[in-house]
Chain A
Amino acid sequence: MSLSLFALQLINGVEYGLLLFLVASGLTLVFGVLGVLNFAHGSFYMLGAYLAWWLSERTGNLLLAILVGLPAMALIGLLVERLAIGRLYLRDHLSQVLLTYGLVLLFNELQRALWGNDVHGVATPKALSFTIPLGEAQTWPAWRAFTALCCIAVAVAMRQVILKTRWGMRVRAGASNAEMVEALGIDVRRVFSVVFSAGTALAGLAGMLAAPLTTVYPGMGESVLILSFVVVVIGGIGSIKGAFLGAMLVGIADTFGKVLLPGFASAMVYAVMAAVLLWRPRGLLGPAFEGR
């Protein structure tokens, strides 16, 4: 493999990893803070994508659609948390897996009933519809660059919020010891609602950014779901930094795996996860305690 091809594949891998991070960050946040295994995370990704399509068809502008769609996704997350997830905090893993599995089926039917079975394309905004040449053979669409930048911005913003703000402190406290936090007079339930809402919005944002690239179709959340679980587990549940590392690892391993070991490519990601867990049973940067 020539150096330029290597560099190109590296860019491919990093870019893929960044989008994976965006999806996985919401998942790891929800799991780390709320202790809930949310199988419906992929459905939020799908909902975000469908919203982006539906709104951009009506407003004619994808960026506007995203601006409107994000608060909508946060609201949906809030509703789901109040009505369903909120009842699961004291329950076991099996109940969580199955309730959210039921939610997946429900969201799938909802999507079919509202928007039908066809595949839909989403147009990128005119301002971002150009391409950037990468070497002599290939070009890179501006929208991908924009998406990558958004993911990085989100990562930085999350880090700032969680480490440097009061809210972030509450979130971290709630993750370590919810009972103590409550005893200190902070409304843990509200913290949980906000976190779940944020997680939903993150998944939705990923769907909206990916919509022009992947097109919008029924069942589009499934493959993303499994991969985001893998990323979260590799990185360590509850660790955003871990999710970032995990996403990069998965993105690059998958990309190079496709080119160097094509027959083994699909299983590659799972093999990596199994290997990481066997070496570090709590993921790369997982919690030190035997909590969840």
Chain B
Amino acid sequence: MTRRILLLAGALALGAVAFSGDRFWLQFLGKAMIGCILAMSLDLLVGFTGLVSLAHSAFFGLAAYALAGVTNRLGLVNPLLTFPVCLLAAAAAALIIGWLSLRATGVYFIMVTLAFTQMLFYLFNDSPALGGSDGLYVVERPVDSRAAAYVAIWAALVLAYLLLARILRAPYGRALEGIRVNEQRMRSLGYPTRRYKLVAFVIAGALAGVAGYLDATLYGFVNPAQLGWRQSGLILVTVLLGGKGTLYGPALGALLLAFIEHYGERVTEHWNALIAALVIAVVLFLPRGLAGLVQGGRRA
């Protein structure tokens, strides 16, 4: 119960920032919350279904590029039009990539997702027509003011959490956890495990797409660097830091990483080593991450 209250308080506090008008915090926390959406959606795969995917950043970037595409080439600006298009693009990509990747299991699955993420990265990086390594501007953003973008991100975060929590409480969500624990047993019980995994992959990918859409809205800038395996790796780091399989843990992990990256530079020039030490320490000594510290347990 206390956890619920704390989460509610945190959400309200974040929401209140929208009225502050502070240009820096609106942008900084907006970006951090986008990281939270990415972390939670990846946790659906990593923490609950047991699928370690390196393709997450690909869906994030695809949706962002889709926004740049429809706005710059087709002149669509209204979010009611652009949002569904970008969401569909990310979901469709997740469907295709998921279907192909799930033919492999274990570490091979991880590698196939890596392969697709890299292929998409090179597609955008090596094509001057798609902006190349310099990236593209979104000529006109769906919402103009920073505060409005912040509110949109905040709303998306809250809704994403509620949606994921709902899914995980439902029989489908329980089945996913069963698949993580022992897929063969689930299959022998009659569950279509591959289809279940694919659906989870698509949901996660679609949410990553939402995050990408919001990121392009906040900054108006898309770049292939958002699509590579390094970005995917960072999202995994946030899931680990926060504690996988808890849903709120990865969100905390994303916030923590954002703050460390921001303030770490003031502490030392070798701040990368700081993050490295933190990651290693958490893996070795705190396998359940921040959420493990909070004694939250494993339900969302």
**Neighbouring A residues of B296 by C-beta, 8 Å:** none
Please state if A101 and B122 are interface contacts (CB–CB under 8 Å): no
A113 at the interface (CB under 8 A from B): yes
- Bound state CA distance, A178 and B118, in angstroms? 34
Q: Does B214 contact A (CB under 8 A)?
A: no
Judging by beta carbons under 8 Å apart, are B272 and A105 in contact? yes
Contact B112 A106 (CB under 8 A): no
Q: Are A277 and B111 in contact (CB under 8 A)?
A: yes
- B52→A267 contact, CB < 8 A: no
Report if A230 contacts B (CB, 8 A): yes
- Of B112, B116, B283, the residue contacting A98 (CB under 8 A) is B283
Interface residues on chain B, number (Cβ under 8 Å):
41
Using Cβ atoms and an 8 Å threshold, which residues of chain B touch A113?
Answer: 270
Within 8 A of A (CB), among B86-142: 100, 103-108, 110-112, 114-116, 118-119, 122-123, 125-127
Of the listed stretches A89-97, A126-134, A151-159, chain B binds: A89-97
Q: Which residues of B contact A98 (CB under 8 A)?
A: 236-237, 240, 279, 283
Consensus secondary structure, chain B interface: helix
In the complex, are the beta carbons of B276 and A97 less than 8 A apart?
A: no
**In the complex, which residues of chain B have a beta carbon less than 8 angstroms from the beta carbon of A273?**
111-112, 115
- Taking a contact as CB atoms under 8 Å apart, the answer to whether B106 and A106 are in contact is no
Residues of chain A within 8 A of B277, CB atoms compared: 102, 106
CB contacts (< 8 Å) of B52 on chain A: these are: 93-94, 97
* Residue B62 at the chain A interface, CB threshold 8 Å: no
Contacts of A108 in B (CB 8 A): 272
B244: chain A residues at CB < 8 Å are 94
Which residues of B line the A interface, CB within 8 A?
Answer: 46, 52, 100, 103-108, 110-112, 114-116, 118-119, 122-123, 125-127, 229, 233, 236-237, 239-240, 244, 270, 272-273, 275-280, 283-284, 287
Could you give 8 example pairs across A and B, Cβ below 8 Å?
A91-B283, A98-B236, A99-B283, A99-B284, A102-B276, A274-B116, A277-B104, A292-B107
Sample of 14 more A-B contacts, CB < 8 Å, known A105-B276, A109-B272, A267-B122: A84-B284, A93-B110, A95-B283, A97-B236, A99-B280, A102-B283, A106-B276, A226-B114, A266-B125, A267-B118, A270-B119, A274-B116, A281-B104, A292-B107
